[in-house]
Structure 1
Amino acid sequence: MTRSRTNRPAATGPRRRAAVSRLAVLLVLAVCAVGLYAVTAGRNAGERTAPAAAQHGPAASAVPSPAPTGKAKPKPARSQVPEHGDGRFTEAPGTSRTIGHGTPLRYGVEVEDGTGFSAASVAAEVDRILADKRGWTTAGAAFRRVDSPPYDFLVRLATPDTTDALCAEYGLDTGGEVNCSGGKDVVVNLKRWVLLSPYYKGRPAEYRALIINHEVGHRLGRGHRGCPGPGRPAPAMMQQIKGLHGCTANAWPYDRHGHAITGPAVP
């Protein structure tokens, strides 16, 4: 007897509901597993990249500076003397007592603005120099500082460029380096007032005395003098900035005993 093949009937009732419940549970577990993996992966990725960001910071993409290959070269020292000025001068106020005997020469003191020196301080130094007993009062000169014309001479502290311009009016070439005397002007180059000369290094009071004594000497009609002999003091009227030629540095026209310090005339 041949047995015919028949289809198995589908599950119904309680059995079907149980199968559906199991399938739903499996789907929920699968979704939870996927979410947990994503959270864990993201956390692990953050733990790997955070230290790198903390170490390099926002400049991590910048080109690193090259390592130093040796000591840095020292910067050259800059002169503290301004080369240029505005050509405007401030005059020292007030007057001084008369020094020396006879009719005093009236002098004023002016300082170019921007030099770093006050007119009053420069005037005090000029007063001191002219009043020294080793100065021109021993030759019979007398001086009195005033703050208004007429002047017999006017001491003017100026920047190198202004010095050149003022001295050029008298046909003198100061080359931005030296002082001059012309007309009623005694022009003091700021460079010499500050930097002195190699022969007076560390002795600003002495070198400034030489400047004033030399240039005022010209106003008194004194010409240049040379070295009187090796080892002897250089005359104040010697151009000592050009060398001592065997003499020793000296800023004064006279010594403490009233003896003139001079030398052979220089044409």
Structure 2
Amino acid sequence: MLGVGVVTVLAVVGGAAYELTGDSGSTPGGAPTTQARAVPAAESPAASAPPPVETPPPSPAPVVEGKGLGTFSTVQANGPVMGKGKTLRKFKVEVEDGIGIDAVTAAKQVQAILADPRSWTTDGKNSFQLVTSGSYDFTVRIASPETVDKICATAGLDTGGEVNCNVDRQVMVNIKRWNTGSPKFSGPIEEYRALIINHEVGHRIGHNHEGCPGPGKPAPAMMQQIYGLEGCVSNAWPYTDTGKYLSGPARP
């Protein structure tokens, strides 16, 4: 049985599943570290060029039940320590009210991603634990594109309503990406969610962007796969099943 609950807090603006036990918590503020960049504008087709082509939107509309309210619900839960690394990184999960995502379900998904042996615990340096109260390293916040844009903008980042960012102790996840994935990524939505968490948490623990290591090879988790794969194959995980780090050339 899960012993969990949620509490509403004000927003700061400008695999494995485990049993969770309740506690009380608080909410942090924002300032930089990140991966976002401006989303290039779509080119308009020439007016005289037949046949006429309708320019598609950058991605499908997010599957949400309403506009974000600017407040967040926090899962009141404590999970087990995942991994054996000396650096324990405690984290919280919060979901913006009004976007139609269950906070408990989201927390279990994030927890399962970080517990997966293909995720960051395999580096032997880091371990992770879901918490509500006490000290913590970062908060995963799933929010509307508008709220993500506002919070990321406090660090001078332009997420363009499309991408995620890592600001201070906040891993900001765009609900549009969480719900619909990316047209550049070939795989189920669960894999794309893993890519989001692995990429942004990778920044939290000191990793920078990487590029494609070669045609047909797995794209690194630290590659900005939403902008294209450069001949690589979609991949959500920093490590292989055998514990090999999937790296690529350094990118800004």
TM-score by length of 1: 0.69
Equivalent residue for 2:123? Answer: 139
Equivalent residue for 2:39? Answer: none
Change (3 A) 1:263 1:201: closer
The gaps in structure 2 that reach 5 residues or longer are 1-59
- Paired residues, what number? 191
Query: Quick check: 1:118 aligned with 2:105?
Result: no
Instruction: Give 1:182-221 correspondences, 5 Å limit.
Output: 182-200=167-185, 203-221=188-206
Amino-acid identity (%): 54
The list of structure 1 runs, each at least 4 consecutive aligned residues, that deviate by more than 4 angstroms after superposition, is: none
Change (3 A) 1:187 1:229: same
Kindly indicate whether the alpha-carbon contact (under 8 Å) linking 2:92 and 2:131 is maintained by their aligned counterparts in 1. yes
Equivalent residue for 1:49? Answer: none
Aligned with 1:166 (options 143, 151, 162): 151
- Which of the two has higher C-alpha Rg? 1
The gaps in structure 1 that reach 5 residues or longer are 1-76
**AA partner of residue 98 (structure 2):** G
Deviation digits for residues 178-216 of structure 1 (CA, Å, limit 9, x no counterpart): 000011000000000001011335601100000000000
RCO comparison, higher one (Cα < 8 Å, 6+): 2
Equivalent residue for 1:80? Answer: 63
CA drift at 1:148: 1.9
Instruction: Give 1:36-185 correspondences, 5 Å limit.
Output: 79-81=62-64, 84-101=67-84, 102-140=86-124, 141-185=126-170
Helix, strand or coil: the match of 2:140?
A: strand
Change (3 A) 1:231 1:151: same
CA drift at 1:81: 3.5
**AA partner of residue 188 (structure 1):** V
CA drift at 1:78: 6.3
Q: Which moved more, 1:218-227 or 1:103-112?
A: 103-112
CA drift at 1:171: 1.3
Query: Quick check: 1:240 aligned with 2:240?
Result: no
Equivalent residue for 1:63? Answer: none
TM-score by length of 2: 0.73
Residues of 2 paired with 1:135 and 1:79: CA distance?
Answer: 26
Helix, strand or coil: the match of 1:205?
A: helix
CA drift at 1:222: 0.4
Select the structure that is richer in helix: 1
Aligned with 2:243 (options 252, 258, 262): 258
Change (3 A) 1:207 1:201: same
**AA partner of residue 125 (structure 1):** Q
Helix, strand or coil: the match of 1:142?
A: strand
Deviation digits for residues 208-258 of structure 1 (CA, Å, limit 9, x no counterpart): 000000000000010000000000000000000000000000000000010
Change (3 A) 1:231 1:118: same
Helix, strand or coil: the match of 2:251?
A: coil
